[in-house]
Amino acid sequence: MTMNEKLIFTNKTGEELDRFIGDLGNPRTIIITDNNVEAEVFPALGPASGVVRTSPKIVIPAGDDNKTLDTLATVWKALSEMEAVRKTVVVNIGGGVVTDLGGFAAATYMRGMRCVNVPTTLLAAVDASVGGKTGINFNGFKNQVGVFSEPVATIISSEFFSTLPDEEILSGYGEMLKHGLLESADAIGRLLAINPLQDISLLLQLICDSVSVKARVVAEDLRESGARKLLNLGHTFGHAFESYSYERNSPAAHGYAVVWGLVCELVLSHMRLGFPSELLYKVKNYVREYYGAFAITCNDYPALIRAMRHDKKNPEADSINCTLLRAPGVGVTDEVVSEDEIKSTLDIYRDLML
């Protein structure tokens, strides 16, 4: 099975975008982006792309706080005022907020237009822009409303990463570590062997490998009824760390929360399924060195467990599910975990990380 979404890896984004739109027969295009990307990326991208120079732009305010119904309504309104029709192609240029919200706007306006994603952050390149999850935050919950709708293409490059803060690169790299663990011992070994902040020239090939892991899983199960749950590795604990970090008013970047979650879920994988301790230690050492640790005491356990119970990955309100690994490349989904196991895991996480 293949994805409907075409993946284009290039460090000549502007030219590839023009070529792809040309291959579609040069339909009318409208760009959705945010104010940061407009300032940081467009000065370099514009000269390389007629599509970028000539298409009308809908510029939303940057930041996850703006991934809202209000922003979506302004995008629908702008599409309507620009007289977009179903054949018009939306080009989402930005990070995950732009590709999620822009993808949702395109999927719903006139019952669905085509869109092309041009991710400008590492996190969007390896995760959000690929695989057709679109949506907005709603009623206090992340990504609460949305649809599965694949872009016709995603054009992936490492061209724009020099404008990103280190924290953004490491955050995206966290999802790549997850893909590496899901793939094989070699794949995770290659990722643990480099410093992503220094070895930027190696990134495009590693991104290509990483996205291929996700693409294979999505091709099997777009709507997350089975295999796609593998991609939740690290995310049961990770989402809990992330939402608790917001509660504590010191927000952690998504990929940081994911790597701390990976350490916990590899501990659990070792205890339950015999995941090799040597690799667990290698991952833990890498995470400690580059990401530090999320500081917790046992007084934080009830809040973390509460956050896990609220996670939309859990099909039953009273169970907590994880994706775990028997070994690199051998994942197991829907592992129901008890509160006692979560507490023991957090005890070991603290011993290893703090």
Q: Closest separation between CB of residue 294 and ligand GLY, Å?
A: 20
Binds ligand GLY by CB under 6 A, chosen from 14, 94, 103, 131: 131
How far is Cα 347 from Cα 266, in angstroms, rounded to an integer? Answer: 14
Q: Where are the beta strands (DSSP E) in the chain?
A: 6-9, 29-34, 57-60, 89-94, 114-119, 133-138, 141-148, 153-156, 320-327, 330-337
111 assigned to active site: yes
Q: Say which of 114, 179, 229, 239 is annotated catalytic.
A: 239
- Structure tokens belonging to residue 305: 């467990």
For the bound state, the minimum distance from the C-beta of residue 130 to ligand GLY, rounded and expressed in Å, comes to: 8
* Cβ-based nearer residue to ligand GLY, 127 or 209: 127
Among the listed residues 175, 183, 265, 335, the single catalytic one is 175
Q: Which listed range, 72-80, 125-133, 281-289, 305-313, lies at the site for ligand GLY (CB under 6 A)?
A: 125-133
CB of 131 to ligand GLY, least distance (A): 5
DSSP bridge pairs for 148: 133
Match 């991609």 to its residue by tokens. 231
Q: Which of 5, 16, 38, 127 binds ligand GLY (CB under 6 A)?
A: 127
14 or 132: whose CB is closer to ligand GLY?
A: 132
For the CA atoms of the chain, what is the radius of gyration?
A: 20
**Closest to 151 (Cα-Cα) out of 90, 96, 195, 93:** 90
Active site residue 310: no
Give me the least distance between CB of 16 and ligand GLY, in Å please.
Answer: 23
By rule CB under 6 A, what count of residues binds ligand GLY? 5
b/e for 151-163, b at 16 or more Cβ within 10 A?
A: bbbbbbbbbbbee
Does the CA dihedral 305-307-313-316 come out positive or negative? positive
Q: Which of 114, 178, 179, 228 binds ligand GLY (CB under 6 A)?
A: 228
Q: Which one of 232, 265, 270, 335 is the catalytic residue?
A: 232
206: tokens are 């590693």
Sole residue written with tokens 């510029």 = 59
Shortest Å, Cβ 59 to ligand GLY: 26
Shortest distance (Å) from residue 220 CB to ligand GLY? 12
Give 210's contacts (C-beta < 8 A, 6+ positions apart): 126, 175, 176, 179, 180
Of 178 and 284, which CB lies nearer to ligand GLY in the complex structure?
A: 178
Which one among 67, 114, 133, 178 touches ligand GLY, defined by CB under 6 A?
133
**CB neighbours of residue 180 within 10 Å:** 25
DSSP conformational letter for 297: -
Does 67 participate in binding ligand GLY (rule CB under 6 A)? no
Q: Find the binder of ligand GLY among 52, 93, 153, 231 (CB under 6 A).
A: 231
Within 306-345, the residues that bind ligand GLY by CB under 6 A are none
**Counting runs of H as helices and runs of E as strands, what totals does the chain give?**
15, 10
The reply to whether 133 belongs to the active site is yes
> Rounded CA gap, 218 and 215, in Å?
5
Nearer to ligand GLY, 40 or 221 (CB): 221
- Minimal CB distance to ligand GLY: which residue? 231
Interface residue list for ligand GLY (CB under 6 A):
127, 131, 133, 228, 231
Question: Which residues are known catalytic residues?
Answer: 111, 133, 175, 214, 224, 228, 232, 235, 239, 254
